[in-house]
A and B are shown apart, each in its own frame.
Chain A
Amino acid sequence: MKLMWFHLMPYTELPEDFRQKHPSVWVDIHSSLFDPKRAHHMYNDFMDELEYAADCGFDAICVNEHHSNGYGLMPSPNLIASALARRTTQVPICVMGNSLALYNPPTRVAEEFAMLDVISGGRLIAGFPVGTPMDTCFAYGQNPSMLRERYLEAHDLVLRAWTEKDTFAFNGRYNQQRYVNIWPRPVQQPHPPIWIPGGGSVETWQWCAQMDYVYCYLSYYGYKAGKATMDGFWAEMERLGKDRNPYRAGFAQVVAVAESRQQALDLYTGPAEYFFNRCLHIDPRFAAPAGYSTEATQRAGLESQVRKAANAQSLIQGDKTNRGMTMQDFVDRGYVVIGSPDEVLEQLNALADDLHVGHLMLLMQFGNMDKALTQYNTRIFAEQVMPRLRPRFAEWEDRWWPKPMAAAEQAALPAFSPKLAAE
């Protein structure tokens, strides 16, 4: 099992009464809440945390893209990934990812991801999300009626830009370019592994199966709530005649470890409540612009309660459900996997059994956790949980993992001395 360390980069100083005084953490969150000088420290702490996770031996470090979002300060995850590529040497860097339809022309993504792959020596995992309605339709003004077609076309263009040897003209419905010829070209051939974060739509599962991409369900509501979706995914794989290789899938989970359960509750209750009650406070009016969900997905949602529509809708559904919820609820419902190392191991083994996912993306900084607590959580997990989880799924080959250049071929980076909180 691959254990990947995922940072959302939340603004950590939203006010106590955020939920009461402000309509949404996303899209129209007020600029007065953002203090750039405080954010300077947040960014630098967050990048320290990602580098620390790499030093602790996590299988990958992950970043993602959000816009106008108080819980995700990475409009450009590529900027962060670029810095990480220079401050780490071996660890794969998972950019989860670039919302293809937002880039004009989309060859920008082919270029930047190729740059990251070259700078890092072939360590990039290329994530291609459609993007939430909040990011794409509202913050970025994309037409919800054309978003998916644009996304699929941009995907085709990026893939061709990575793989075609000669300059070519692209005559798409939404993109026309006379000369496509990106420099640089990716180290990984024919291209970096492609992972697709998505909600529970059958069409996405089918497309991942067809293209042989990893499907990632990045819910914040944990493995118990995620089971229905992952069951649907595996049923569809079976129907399509695909094997049950757990590395076809990824899943995100909030995890909080300490010496004992009580200590964990003492340490992490504040941050978890901050995350679920403030960070995920999203105005429902941004949930579902008409056209964002395909009619097939709407039909499936109307026909069956199990197949919830897009990620964003379940996100906001979650926000509604969470009103007034406390740590006890988050723990009971599996939103947060928490406890001593043994207890966390037991829950994550249950997650592995139930969801059958080979790529586990761990949210170990959540809410307003500071660097010291984040690094504590990260280290104790790395030392006492990770070694016992790694052997899971050893019988399967991960065909979707980066293939970096051999260490001997890689550039020697100049020495640097990261300032560790422990020092």
Chain B
Amino acid sequence: MSGPEVSTVDINGFPTRIWRKGSGAPLGFLAGFGGLPRWVPFLDRLAERRTVIVPSLPGFPGGDRGHTVLDTHLDWVLAVRQAIQAAGLHGADLAGSSVGASMAAEMAALWPESVRRLALIAPFGLYDEAEPPTDPWAQRGDAVPGLLCADPAAWTALKAMPEGANSIEWPIEQTRANEAAARIFWPLGNTRLEKRLPLVTAPTLLLWGSEDRVMPRSYAARIAARLGGPNETVLIEGAGHLAELDRPDKVADAILSWVG
């Protein structure tokens, strides 16, 4: 597995990492809860057929402390919009997972021409009182891996400190990712995305891990019923909330066949 090409763009004064790998039509990916502190096999699968482009979200790994100047939901969607444009993803296919999927849906709702085809893995942004999402912030440290992935080792591998990394800054960067997610989604995860789903006209693939312990699976039908364009839902067997970490091949295959 070779690494991606790395570039940096400025978003609100914060250097923001953009990964790029592969060839073919561009396909954007916005990472899920915890962000991407390292390149993962799932992105390699996508890069086999497309130019995969991964802009970091503010405050998530690669996004510096960009979250600290974002006070409202409008601030957030505009910052992500800037990142999408700076990454050359305007008009491209866009995929996202978890918190990143929520932002991808916002992009498609607010700037319909900016997204060709959309793929969302268990997006944040909705709240059903009868079946609330799990609180991802009120967790004992040792419960987090098994909450986010069906196979706790998948999360642990994502977050393990690489050799030679700064032993102080690495854990701070991981905490910062959780803080950035909290900054948008605290306390319930409810950004009222539901109200904007009818504005999403891009053909949308919804992916849900069968073992998702954060976002109830019933949310898939709730989202599908409100989307403004054609859509399909695919259940990923054996995957947790971050399905792309648990089942990289299956999730990548589903996305690649959806975007064509």
Contacts and interface: CB of A to CB of B under 8 A. Distances in A.
Interface in A283-306: 284-286, 289-291, 295, 298-299, 302-303
Contacts of B68: 145
B108 interface: no
The 3 lowest CB-CB distance pairs between A and B, nearest first, are A291-B179, A290-B178, A145-B183
B179 to A, nearest CB: 3
Contacts of A289: 137-138, 182
Nearest to A292: B179
A204 interface: no
Given A285-B138, A295-B176, A302 B171 contact: yes
Interface in A93-113: none
Nearest to A300: B168
A291 B59 CA distance: 11
Interface in B150-204: 167-168, 171-172, 175-183, 186-187
Given A295-B176, A298-B172, A299-B172, A146 B139 contact: no
A298 B183 contact: no
B185 to A, nearest CB: 9
Given A289-B182, A290-B137, A298-B172, A145 B67 contact: yes
A286 B68 CA distance: 23
Interface in B132-146: 137-140, 143
Interface of B: 67-68, 71, 137-140, 143, 167-168, 171-172, 175-183, 186-187
B168 A303 contact: yes
Interface stretch (A78-86, A136-144, A225-233, A337-345): A136-144
Given A145-B67, A303-B168, A298 B180 contact: no
A171 to B, nearest CB: 14
B143 A285 contact: yes
A290 B182 contact: yes
A109 B71 CA distance: 23
A146 B68 CA distance: 8
16 contacts: A137-B187, A138-B138, A141-B186, A141-B187, A143-B186, A145-B67, A145-B68, A146-B71, A146-B183, A173-B71, A174-B71, A285-B138, A289-B138, A291-B175, A302-B171, A303-B168
B4 to A, nearest CB: 27
Contact of B168 (A138, A144, A291, A299): A299
Contact of B140 (A143, A284, A295, A298): A284
Contacts of A146: 71, 183
Contact of B176 (A137, A138, A285, A290): A290
Given A146-B183, A290-B177, 18 more contacts: A137-B137, A141-B186, A141-B187, A145-B67, A145-B68, A145-B180, A145-B182, A145-B183, A146-B71, A173-B71, A285-B143, A290-B179, A290-B182, A298-B172, A298-B175, A302-B168, A302-B171, A303-B168
Contacts of A173: 71
B140 A285 contact: yes
Nearest to B138: A285
A300 to B, nearest CB: 10
Interface of A: 137-138, 141, 143-146, 173-174, 284-286, 289-291, 295, 298-299, 302-303
Contacts of A285: 138-140, 143
Nearest to A284: B140
Nearest to B171: A302
A290 B187 CA distance: 12
Given A285-B143, A289-B137, A302 B186 contact: no
Select the residue from B137, B140, B171 with max chain A CB neighbours within 10 A. B137
A290 B177 CA distance: 8
A143 B143 contact: no
A141 B138 CA distance: 12
A284 B183 CA distance: 21
A173 B143 CA distance: 35
Select the residue from B68, B138, B143, B175 with max chain A CB neighbours within 10 A. B138
A145 B175 CA distance: 11
A298 B71 CA distance: 22
Contacts of A291: 175, 178-179, 182-183
Nearest to B183: A145
B138 A286 contact: yes
A290 B171 CA distance: 11
Contact of A144 (B167, B172, B182): B182
A115 B165 CA distance: 55
Contacts of B172: 295, 298-299, 302
Nearest to A299: B168
Contacts of A138: 138
A145 B168 contact: no
A291 B167 CA distance: 19
A268 B126 CA distance: 51
B74 to A, nearest CB: 14
Contacts of B183: 143, 145-146, 291
Nearest to A141: B187
Select the residue from B175, B176, B178, B186 with max chain A CB neighbours within 10 A. B186
A236 to B, nearest CB: 21
Contacts of A174: 71
A303 B172 CA distance: 12
Contacts of A295: 172, 176
B31 to A, nearest CB: 16
Contacts of B186: 137, 141, 143-145
A144 B71 contact: no
Contacts of B139: 285
Contacts of A145: 67-68, 179-180, 182-183, 186
A284 B171 CA distance: 19
Contacts of B187: 137, 141, 143
Contacts of B178: 290-291
